[in-house]
């Protein structure tokens, strides 16, 4: 991810990763965070207001269905996926342009039924996806619906930045 890139963050949750990506793309780039759970999107939008990252936006939608993505997000050249996939959805091939790069956890690369999920980087070229496989990882499974909540998760306490100070993301090295 470079300054000026347009990034699609699928499975964005409350947008922490989207905010980090927003710092990387800078003011000339764009980051579209997409999350299936509208309550997580609402919490994330409230948090993003404090970070002064106008290049980052969070949206509700189904990551597997490009028809639910914001129209401008379909122009993304970099895509991050925050959940384990069984396969790269065929609909992505029709939506993402030539040279788009996807980083995703993908299951079953070591043979059917091995239970392993590996991080992959794929580049769309001539209707095909060239895959580069990395180490085994653990990610949450793909969700296609939002479970009913018995109670809302309370918001975490917030420390307001000093007047005139820009809020910073906590980064652990």
Q: Structure pTM? A: 0.82
d(CA 122, CA 111): 19
Question: Tens digit of pLDDT for each residue in 58-88?
Answer: 999 999 999 999 999 989 999 999 999 999 9
Question: 10 Å Cβ neighbour count for 110?
Answer: 13
pLDDT of residue 48 exceeding 50: yes
| For range 121-146, the mean pLDDT | 89
pLDDT at residue 163 is higher than 90: no
Q: Which residues contact 111 (CB under 8 A, 6 or more apart)?
A: none
């Amino acid at each position: 991810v470079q300054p000026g890139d347009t990034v699609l963050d699928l499975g964005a949750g409350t947008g922490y990763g989207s905010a980090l990506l927003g710092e990387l793309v800078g003011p000339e780039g764009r980051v579209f965070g997409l999350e299936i759970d509208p309550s997580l999107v609402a919490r994330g939008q409230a948090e993003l207001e404090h970070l002064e990252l106008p290049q980052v936006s969070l949206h509700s939608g189904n990551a597997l269905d490009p028809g639910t993505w914001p129209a401008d997000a379909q122009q993304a050249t970099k895509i991050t996926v925050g959940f384990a996939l069984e396969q790269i959805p065929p609909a992505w091939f029709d939506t993402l342009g030539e040279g788009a790069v996807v980083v995703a956890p993908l299951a079953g690369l070591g043979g059917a039924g091995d239970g392993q999920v590996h991080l992959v980087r794929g580049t769309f070229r001539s209707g095909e996806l060239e895959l580069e496989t990395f180490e085994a990882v653990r990610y949450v499974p793909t969700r296609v619906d939002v479970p009913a909540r018995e109670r809302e998760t309370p918001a975490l306490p917030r420390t307001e930045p000093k007047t005139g100070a820009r809020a910073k993301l906590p980064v652990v090295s």
